[in-house]
């Protein structure tokens, strides 16, 4: 039986460490990261998890500003507060680090989508999803802009994920919305385009932050503007889906 995809399907895959590659056939126990049976990335210690988080944060800023080819591993390592060899212990190439940043961003967005299930009240579930997507744009604007750049370039690092597990999850949630509509709990709308609209409106505040600041003098880092944006988006989106 085919299972419904979960957010775990989107977790970044860690590269093998040099030490692990020297021991073919043996379990990887060298402390930084490993592949488990299902494939997702796992840092094996709290220190390792903290280091990976620092690396991903520094890499996100570098890649979103300079791109994959302009960013330098040496500079990312310095921004993360570690040596280049230490960084390469966790991510052995710049391409793998770049892909991990993109996959982390996608995972962050898809966790709340994965929690939108039949058992929940649809208005409450969609309200929560919009709020969490907008919060992600507030907290991680550079990651959103980098993801948009990857898509504009034809998704060379994410194509398989977009057409594979992402599509499977979106198809599943489209069916959830269709059931809500059939039960009279939502207005008759196109489920897939509702999801597209949520993505477009919430990510706009990160991807076009410069334009928003030029027009309003504010962005989502301003608490009052953030609350107004949140309330406005919900008013617009919910008006189209509440049953009449």
Domains delineated in the chain: 7-98 (1.10.10.60), 103-241 (1.10.357.10)
Span 100-129, average pLDDT: 94
Residue 160 has pLDDT above 60, yes or no: yes
Span 50-70, average pLDDT: 95
Residue identified by tokens 């500079």 is: 75
pLDDT band at 44 (very low <50, low <70, confident <90, very high): low
Q: Which long-range contacts (CB under 8 A, 24 or more apart) does 79-83 make?
A: 80/51, 80/54, 80/55, 81/54, 82/51, 82/54, 82/55
Residue 231's CB is within 10 A of a number of other CB atoms, namely 10
pLDDT band at 43 (very low <50, low <70, confident <90, very high): low
pTM of full prediction above 0.85: no
**Can you read off the two tokens belonging to residue 54?**
């620092």
Bridge partners, 34 (sequence order):
42
Show the beta-strand stretches assigned E in the chain: 33-35, 41-43
- Dihedrals phi, psi of 178, to nearest 5 degrees: -60, -40
Angle at CA of residue 11, ends 6 and 17, nearest 5°: 145
Report pLDDT for 45: 81
Span 81-91, average pLDDT: 95
How far is residue 180's CA from residue 174's CA, in Å, rounded to a whole number? 10
Using CA atoms of 236, 241, 242, 244 in order, give the dihedral in degrees to the nearest 10.
Answer: 110
Residue 9 has pLDDT above 90, yes or no: no
The answer to whether 147 and 102 have CB atoms below 8 angstroms apart is yes
pLDDT band at 87 (very low <50, low <70, confident <90, very high): very high
Residue identified by tokens 């052995």 is: 92
Positive or negative CA dihedral for 5, 7, 10, 15? negative
Contacts of 58 (CB under 8 A, 6+ apart): 76, 77, 79, 80
**DSSP code of 166?**
I
- Cα radius of gyration (the chain): 20
In the chain, pLDDT over 70 holds for what percent of residues?
82
The answer to whether 20 and 28 have CB atoms below 8 angstroms apart is yes
Contacts of 43 (CB under 8 A, 6+ apart): 14, 32, 33, 49, 51, 52, 90
**Can you read off the two tokens belonging to residue 219?**
């962005």
pLDDT in tens, 187-227: 999 999 999 999 999 999 999 999 999 999 999 999 999 99
Residue 27 has pLDDT above 70, yes or no: no
Report pLDDT for 48: 86
């Amino acid at each position: 039986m085919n299972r419904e995809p979960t957010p775990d399907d989107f977790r970044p895959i860690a590269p093998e460490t040099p030490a692990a590659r020297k021991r073919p056939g043996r379990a990887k126990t060298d402390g930084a990261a490993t592949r488990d049976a299902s494939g997702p990335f796992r840092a094996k210690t709290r220190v390792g998890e903290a280091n990976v988080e620092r690396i991903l944060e520094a890499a996100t800023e570098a890649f979103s500003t300079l791109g994959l080819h302009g960013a330098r591993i040496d500079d990312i390592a310095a921004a993360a507060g570690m040596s280049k060899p230490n960084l390469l212990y966790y991510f052995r190439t710049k391409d793998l680090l770049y892909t991990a940043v993109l996959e982390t961003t996608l995972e962050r967005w898809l966790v709340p989508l994965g929690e939108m299930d039949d058992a929940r009240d649809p208005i409450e579930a969609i309200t929560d999803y919009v709020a969490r997507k907008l919060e992600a744009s507030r907290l991680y604007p550079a990651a959103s802009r980098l993801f948009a750049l990857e898509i504009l370039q034809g998704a060379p690092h994410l194509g398989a994920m977009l057409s594979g597990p992402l599509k499977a999850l979106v198809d599943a949630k489209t069916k959830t919305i269709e059931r809500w509509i059939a039960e009279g709990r939502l207005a008759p709308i196109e489920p897939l385009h509702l999801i597209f609209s949520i993505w477009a409106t919430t990510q706009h505040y990160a991807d076009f932050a410069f334009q928003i600041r030029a027009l309003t003098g504010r962005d989502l880092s301003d608490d009052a503007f953030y609350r107004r944006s949140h309330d406005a988006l919900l008013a617009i989106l919910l008006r189209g889906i509440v049953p009449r």
